[in-house]
A and B are shown apart, each in its own frame.
Chain A
Amino acid sequence: MFSYSRRTLLKTGAAFAGASALGFPAIVRAQATRIKIGHLVPLTGFLGAIGSYAQLGVKLAAEEINQSGGIMGKQIDLISEDSVNPATASTKAQRMIEQDGAVVLLGEISSASSLTIMQVAERNKKVFFSTGARSDALRGKNCNRYSFHCDIPNTVMVNAVGTALNQKGMVKGKKFFTLTADYIFGHDLLKAAKTFFDANGATLAGDELIATDVTDFSPYLLKVRQAKPDVVCCNLAGNQVTNLVKQYAEFGFPYPLVGFNLNTGDAWAAGEGNLSGTWPTVWYHTLDNPASKAFVAAFTQKYGKPPENHAWIEYVTLKLLAQAINEIKSTESDALIAHFEKQTEFDIMKARKGYFRSWDHQLVQEAYPFTVKPKGEMKDKWDMLVLGDAVPVAAEPLEKIYPTKTQNPCEMKA
């Protein structure tokens, strides 16, 4: 009845299980002609959940641009794919430029993948807008002339939350325990957090580096309890954040949980009553300004749910890119770089306009700390955050919360 050996069966089975762990690619291609734009974002893995929002945002922007006549009279052909992991991201970026003829690249959430795409962009002399990666190092020691950074860097997130925590007296003399994502982004965030703790009289009671595919945090939570900290601080990313928030609520520890990184997609997935504490965000769909409201309305009408912050950043980036190309009438990399390095200001759906800083290509903009809305006050299940005052405060220059040249040295080769 059975003519094969168990060993063969086990080996083949292991190979398949391994293959399935790599994830199933989800490929989406837009059909059009002329101007090709390459878009990469993780749709699988621990950042896949927020990546799916990013893709919805960029697609909406492309549609709107095409409906209003395209770029320089040509329609956009958006080639959007799953970046999977740093190695695949780099291969796909190279292919998009070489074979598909993409004139510019945008996307990414993972700092590790963004770094490899930045290298491809530099090698091929094509501009890349890193929309969602937050590691300081990407704008600092790893920066290059062809890469622009749209999301707020780690230092800004730490400053945004830190300011709010300082006001509540939760920093000075307190013992922090941090849980950190074990890849470039987490390491970088921990470094920014340590700088903040040192500068503000807090101590680090312990830190755990946690692999990105961990779903069960119970052994780490036991270690948190053993350390008996004053505040627990989450430096995790993507699905990790949701899992930690859920399991932190499950164990019901008395130590307040705060975090230096959170995307609203992670918060929405956390489940009713599970999220608490103070966190940073770069944009939220309840921000009260006309551009933001119009975008939220268009997005909600098309997809039946409000946009997440990655949907916003992708939408804004493609829009400002289209606007720039229309103004300079060129897709040449040098012309684009020169245009953005003029520090032209853009409406990015916030009270203050943003601009790319010339020396490190960082999109300088406001950030917001937030706390969680009590259940009774929520209008719907998406309405769960209470935004604090924008940082920096209106009277101060935007660059105040960004790393300085000495903190984050960036040297661009011409």
Chain B
Amino acid sequence: MQFAFLLEQVVNGLVLGGYYLLIALGLSLIFSVGGVVNLAHGAFFALGAYVSVEITKYLGFGSAVVLSPIAVAMLGILFERYILRRFYTADPILSLLVTFGLAMVAEQAIRIIWGAPPISAAIPPALRGSVFLGDFLFSRYRLLILAVVIAVLVGVWLLLHKTSFGRVVRAGIQRPDMVAALGIRLQPYMTAIVMLGVGMAALAGAFFAPITIVQPAMGADIITVAFVVVVIGGLGSFWGVVIAALLVGVVRGITIHFEPAAGEASMYVLMFVVLLVRPRGLLGERIEKFE
């Protein structure tokens, strides 16, 4: 019985890892292609949540989880075009300062627009409750999130590996100078990557608004976890981020099963160990421009 409980925590951890993945994958892509740590990534997550709560009031939950990420992705275009683009070749401290500042501006803007107290959001009644698969208990809503994550993951993988767009992006990660020499401008690709990245963060926000508190600082809270996942997974690796996100979720679940008080520390210990053994991250590639 003890083993079954542990297994239940592992499976639950995988589902939670899927949620971390939605945020971390975008952060990793923007980092890999542009060389910019987007500390404002959490702000897009928060915006995704707030916008979806607003849309839910008028058009229902189904429309909200589709429209909110699209709206935020559009905002991502402006973000890339007018802010991020200026910092790809600059000293990294500048892009860190700018995105950090932007995260503060966004948080304060949310306070001004929606107020400092949290806003209320709930799951549609049809998606409430748990389902049993054998002896395992799953929240119905989280199974839906899992399905969405898998769909997004497959989509992004196909985009990166089976299209000409993806080939340019992957080449851009490894050898931006060669891509430039071949006469391809990376900038439009970067715009698309930022759109995709912040869109995924907003999607995570939209799906998590009904089950976690929706408050102005929610973005700042999540960015740390996303960053840990990216560091554990390693740069430039699609599967590295996937494995890291799932690992963080599972390790947290197992830790809480045995030693609840250490639950939140577990991911940092994991990061510490991984960096000690493999400074490049689990599947991090040797990227010339970063060495």
A381 to B53 CA separation, bound complex (whole angstroms): 15
A18 to B268 CA separation, bound complex (whole angstroms): 12
A9 to B261 CA separation, bound complex (whole angstroms): 31
On chain A, the residues within 8 Å of B202 by CB distance are none
Give the contacting residue for B116; candidates A17, A48, A242, A253; CB below 8 A: A48
Do the beta carbons of A270 and B120 come within 8 Å of each other?
yes
On chain B, the residues within 8 Å of A17 by CB distance are 39, 223-224, 227
With A4-B91, A6-B235, A214-B264 as contacts: A268 and B120 at CB distance below 8 Å: yes
Q: Does B128 contact A (CB under 8 A)?
A: yes
Q: Does B183 contact A (CB under 8 A)?
A: no
Total interface residues in chain B, CB < 8 Å: 68
On chain B, the residues within 8 Å of A16 by CB distance are 37, 39, 96, 100
A208 to B259 CA separation, bound complex (whole angstroms): 10
Q: Does B242 contact A (CB under 8 A)?
A: no
On chain B, the residues within 8 Å of A1 by CB distance are 89, 176-177, 289
Give the contacting residue for A222; candidates B5, B93, B129, B289; CB below 8 A: B5
What size tier do the contact residues of chain A reach? Answer: 35 or more
Do the beta carbons of A24 and B104 come within 8 Å of each other?
yes
How close is A125's CB to chain B, nearest CB, in angstroms? 34
Q: Does B212 contact A (CB under 8 A)?
A: yes
On chain B, the residues within 8 Å of A50 by CB distance are 117
On chain A, the residues within 8 Å of B224 by CB distance are 17-18, 20-21
Do the beta carbons of A252 and B221 come within 8 Å of each other?
no
A310 to B282 CA separation, bound complex (whole angstroms): 47
On chain A, the residues within 8 Å of B9 by CB distance are 219, 222
A50 to B213 CA separation, bound complex (whole angstroms): 12
A243 to B37 CA separation, bound complex (whole angstroms): 29
A180 to B117 CA separation, bound complex (whole angstroms): 23
Q: Does A301 contact B (CB under 8 A)?
A: no
How close is B212's CB to chain A, nearest CB, in angstroms? 5
How close is A35's CB to chain B, nearest CB, in angstroms? 27
A150 to B130 CA separation, bound complex (whole angstroms): 42
Task: Write the B260-291 contact mask toward A (1 if CB under 8 angstroms, else 0).
Answer: 11011000000000000001000000010111
A261 to B253 CA separation, bound complex (whole angstroms): 26
Q: Which residue of A lies closest to B99 (CB)?
A: A16
A residues 194-242 touching B (CB-CB < 8 Å): 208-211, 213-216, 218-220, 222-223, 225-226, 239, 242
On chain A, the residues within 8 Å of B213 by CB distance are 49, 215, 239, 242-243, 246, 269
With A216-B16, A250-B128, A271-B122 as contacts: A225 and B137 at CB distance below 8 Å: yes
A14 to B128 CA separation, bound complex (whole angstroms): 37
On chain B, the residues within 8 Å of A24 by CB distance are 104, 107-108, 217, 220
On chain B, the residues within 8 Å of A210 by CB distance are 260
Q: Which residue of B lies closest to A14 (CB)?
A: B227
How close is A302's CB to chain B, nearest CB, in angstroms? 13
On chain A, the residues within 8 Å of B128 by CB distance are 249-250, 252
A23 to B253 CA separation, bound complex (whole angstroms): 26
Give the contacting residue for A219; candidates B117, B210, B215, B253; CB below 8 A: B253
A4 to B287 CA separation, bound complex (whole angstroms): 12
Do the beta carbons of A211 and B141 come within 8 Å of each other?
no
Task: Write the A310-321 contact mask toward B (1 if CB under 8 angstroms, else 0).
Answer: 000000000000
Q: Does A336 contact B (CB under 8 A)?
A: no
On chain A, the residues within 8 Å of B109 by CB distance are none
With A23-B220, A214-B263, A252-B128 as contacts: A239 and B37 at CB distance below 8 Å: no
Give the contacting residue for B120; candidates A7, A216, A381; CB below 8 A: A381
Q: Which residue of B lies closest to A226 (CB)?
A: B5
Do the beta carbons of B217 and A23 come within 8 Å of each other?
yes
A211 to B255 CA separation, bound complex (whole angstroms): 13
Give the contacting residue for A49; candidates B118, B221, B264; CB below 8 A: B118
Do the beta carbons of B118 and A239 come within 8 Å of each other?
yes
Q: Which residue of A lies closest to B177 (CB)?
A: A1
Q: Does B47 contact A (CB under 8 A)?
A: no
On chain A, the residues within 8 Å of B119 by CB distance are 269
A247 to B118 CA separation, bound complex (whole angstroms): 16
A45 to B177 CA separation, bound complex (whole angstroms): 44
Do the beta carbons of B103 and A250 come within 8 Å of each other?
no
Do the beta carbons of B5 and A12 come within 8 Å of each other?
no
How close is B281's CB to chain A, nearest CB, in angstroms? 9
Do the beta carbons of B118 and A19 come within 8 Å of each other?
no
Do the beta carbons of A12 and B92 come within 8 Å of each other?
yes
On chain B, the residues within 8 Å of A219 by CB distance are 9, 12-13, 252-253, 256-257, 263
B residues 71-96 touching A (CB-CB < 8 Å): 89, 91-93, 96
On chain A, the residues within 8 Å of B137 by CB distance are 222, 225, 251
With A6-B290, A214-B264 as contacts: A273 and B37 at CB distance below 8 Å: no
Do the beta carbons of B130 and A251 come within 8 Å of each other?
yes
Do the beta carbons of B120 and A272 come within 8 Å of each other?
yes
B residues 213-244 touching A (CB-CB < 8 Å): 213-215, 217, 220-221, 223-224, 227, 231, 235
Do the beta carbons of B287 and A6 come within 8 Å of each other?
yes
With A4-B91, A222-B5, A249-B123 as contacts: A13 and B96 at CB distance below 8 Å: yes
Q: Does B125 contact A (CB under 8 A)?
A: yes
With A243-B212, A252-B128 as contacts: A52 and B117 at CB distance below 8 Å: yes
Q: Does A407 contact B (CB under 8 A)?
A: no
Q: Which residue of A lies closest to B209 (CB)?
A: A271
How close is A173's CB to chain B, nearest CB, in angstroms? 25
A265 to B213 CA separation, bound complex (whole angstroms): 11
Give the contacting residue for B103; candidates A20, A208, A381; CB below 8 A: A20
Do the beta carbons of B220 and A20 come within 8 Å of each other?
yes
Instruction: Return 24 A-B CB contacts under 8 Å, by A number.
Output: A1-B89, A2-B89, A4-B92, A8-B92, A9-B37, A20-B224, A24-B217, A43-B116, A48-B217, A50-B117, A208-B260, A215-B212, A218-B16, A223-B256, A246-B210, A246-B211, A246-B212, A250-B141, A250-B142, A251-B137, A252-B129, A269-B119, A269-B214, A273-B125
Pairs A-B, 9 closest by C-beta atoms? A271-B122, A6-B290, A252-B129, A52-B116, A269-B118, A219-B256, A13-B37, A2-B289, A242-B213
Known: A13-B39, A16-B100. 20 other contacts (CB 8 A): A6-B235, A6-B287, A6-B291, A10-B231, A14-B231, A17-B223, A20-B39, A20-B223, A24-B220, A26-B111, A48-B217, A213-B264, A216-B16, A218-B16, A219-B257, A220-B260, A246-B213, A265-B117, A268-B118, A269-B214
